[in-house]
Structure 1
Amino acid sequence: MAVAVGRVFLIQPCSSSSSSFICKGTCKHSLGITTTLWSAKPGTTRRCMSTVVRAQQRPTWLPGLDPPPYLDGKLAGDFGFDPLGLGEDPDSLKWYVQAELVHARFAMAGIAGILFTDLLRVTGINKLPVWYEAGAVKFDFANTTTLFIIQLLLMGFAETKRYMDFIAPGSQAKDGSFFGLEAALEGLEPGYPGGPLLNPLGLAKDIKNAHEWKLKEIKNGRLAMVAMLGIFVQASVTHVGPIDNLVEHLSNPWHKTIIQTLANSASSS
């Protein structure tokens, strides 16, 4: 009978008959098995206990936690995190992977844009509005309604192409599907377009085996999504941009922290 202790160690009692010797000690076997022998009298049963150490197959978001069976580690950035079971359905899992990729890329672009424009504003290089007021700015070359319609059409076209490539991989790379510019995009697989326009440095040409590049992208994208959430909360509490918050914190790091900021905001409200 085997008794499981925790998840990693397995204790296996065993016995064998011995009538000619007394044994005591510990012996190690291959595959991480350690056998401990206890002394016994001649003519009695020798008892031993084997401890089998099972190496974890892959890292998970919580060490020692078994990932769900449908997350087998093949996806980029798969650490077995799905507490709501959203990926149980294979078709839904494929869509969630694409959705995460798009949100991660938007978050990385958004973080870069916010920090860059906020740095120009704080240093006085350019009189730009703080990022959460940029949408209310009226431009001279076009009115807000026109810009909104143009953005809607451009993003709608790009998202439609992306969706069509998702439901029929490779369909958007056929001749005539993109005004003769298919070779410039050279779709590699759903979610990973390429070509000189979207992959000018020629990275990860063999996208099927580009596991390291995929992992780096999704890790940075997840970090950017968390950072974007932090910037939203920061702007809601302090009503200034992230560079202003950073400068204020650096002016007095021990007394101007997130704890003091939240406490002052709660007391003032």
Structure 2
Amino acid sequence: MPSIFGPFLLLSGPQNRKTKMDIALSRGSQILAFNASSSVSAKSSRRSSLDITDTSWPAKGVGPSLSHLQTVVVQAEKRPTWLPGLEPPPYLDGTLAGDFGFDPLGLGEDPESLKWYVQAELVHSRFAMFGVAGILVTDLLRVTGISNLPVWYEAGATKFDFASTRTLLIVQLILMGFVETKRYMDFKNPGSQAKEGTFFGLETALEGLEPGYPGGPLLNPLGIAKDITNAHDWKLKEIKNGRLAMVAMLGFFVQACVTHAGPIDNLVEHLSDPWHKTIIQTLAGSGS
């Protein structure tokens, strides 16, 4: 009660102000002392019910130490997520490159499946980066008139003089099948494809670093990230650019279906009238 009526006691008059204030303060002190003793006794009873021999608890208390809590809080604050404030799933602990806690379908709950999804995303990212670069370069050469090349989505139907379409398809299946088989075998048994005699004597030229990250003078001529286990920044940059490239490829697909033109053509048309030739007007015009 003094905590509620204490301020009003000070306004009751000068003759009793000092006496009543002393009573309020003394009662408040008694309440605080009682609460402190109660909390101490409660802690003592809880401590007695715990197994002190359990090494998972700090030696100086029954709960986590202040330094431990500060470390956890700092780590939680430093880790970015795809949606700020979102708690990532427990199996995405931030150790993977590009892990921002995004898995709305729960595809990575199985650890073995998660490893394969990581490799699949890595390969698709690299193909997407090659595809985006190839489409932009060839489209730029075509639009500027430097070379007579077909638009990218019609390039597959182009006939070549040096080989037929069927021959090119068979050669591509053989080569890609060989490479993908080697990649899968290295994924199942890391380091097995770097052994002598597994690649026509060219094993030292490839020098695989870890599954998904081959090296050597052929695939890593600049010698970047030779210590692949500590190359987290390089892995993060690659996967970020790869994800951006996959989104760009999706944009190219949509552009081709809607405008029936290449990305450079779409860019030139937009720059000719930026306020009236946008994606909104294009999509609205395609539906009419």
Mark yes or no: TM-score above 0.5: yes
Q: CA deviation at 1:43?
A: 1.4
Opposite residue 85 of structure 1, the aligned amino acid is: G
**Correspondence 1:42 to 2:63:** no
**Correspondence 1:210 to 2:210:** no
SS in 2 for 1:43: helix
Q: How does 1:90-239 map to 2 (within 5 A)?
A: 90-239=111-260
CA RMSD of aligned residues (A): 2.0
SS in 1 for 2:27: coil
Q: In 2, Cα distance between the equivalents of 1:235 and 1:114?
A: 12
Percent identity between matched residues is 81
SS in 1 for 2:171: helix
Q: In 2, Cα distance between the equivalents of 1:42 and 1:200?
A: 80
Q: How does 1:14-53 map to 2 (within 5 A)?
A: 41-44=25-28, 45-46=31-32
Q: CA deviation at 1:217?
A: 0.1
> Which structure is larger by alpha-carbon Rg, 1 or 2?
2
Q: CA deviation at 1:140?
A: 0.3
Point out the structure with the larger helix share. 2
Consecutive aligned runs of 4 or more in structure 1 exceeding 2 Å deviation: 44-47, 52-57
Q: In 1, Cα distance between the equivalents of 2:80 and 2:117?
A: 21
In the alignment, structure 2 segments of 5+ residues that lack a partner are: 8-23, 36-68
Q: CA deviation at 1:124?
A: 0.3
Opposite residue 106 of structure 2, the aligned amino acid is: G
Q: In 1, Cα distance between the equivalents of 2:276 and 2:225?
A: 46
Q: In 2, Cα distance between the equivalents of 1:59 and 1:115?
A: 32
SS in 1 for 2:107: coil
Q: In 1, Cα distance between the equivalents of 2:275 and 2:201?
A: 59
2:88 maps to which residue? Answer: 67
Q: In 2, Cα distance between the equivalents of 1:132 and 1:248?
A: 19
Opposite residue 251 of structure 1, the aligned amino acid is: S
1:36 maps to which residue? Answer: none
Opposite residue 284 of structure 2, the aligned amino acid is: A
2:65 maps to which residue? Answer: none
Q: In 2, Cα distance between the equivalents of 1:88 and 1:103?
A: 21
Q: In 1, Cα distance between the equivalents of 2:26 and 2:235?
A: 63
Q: In 1, Cα distance between the equivalents of 2:25 and 2:171?
A: 90
Opposite residue 159 of structure 1, the aligned amino acid is: E
Q: CA deviation at 1:42?
A: 3.3
Opposite residue 223 of structure 1, the aligned amino acid is: L
Q: CA deviation at 1:150?
A: 0.1
Q: In 1, Cα distance between the equivalents of 2:25 and 2:208?
A: 74
State the TM-score, normalizing by the size of structure 2. Answer: 0.76
Opposite residue 63 of structure 1, the aligned amino acid is: P
In the alignment, structure 1 segments of 5+ residues that lack a partner are: 1-17, 23-39
**Correspondence 1:244 to 2:265:** yes
Q: CA deviation at 1:41?
A: 4.3
SS in 2 for 1:250: helix
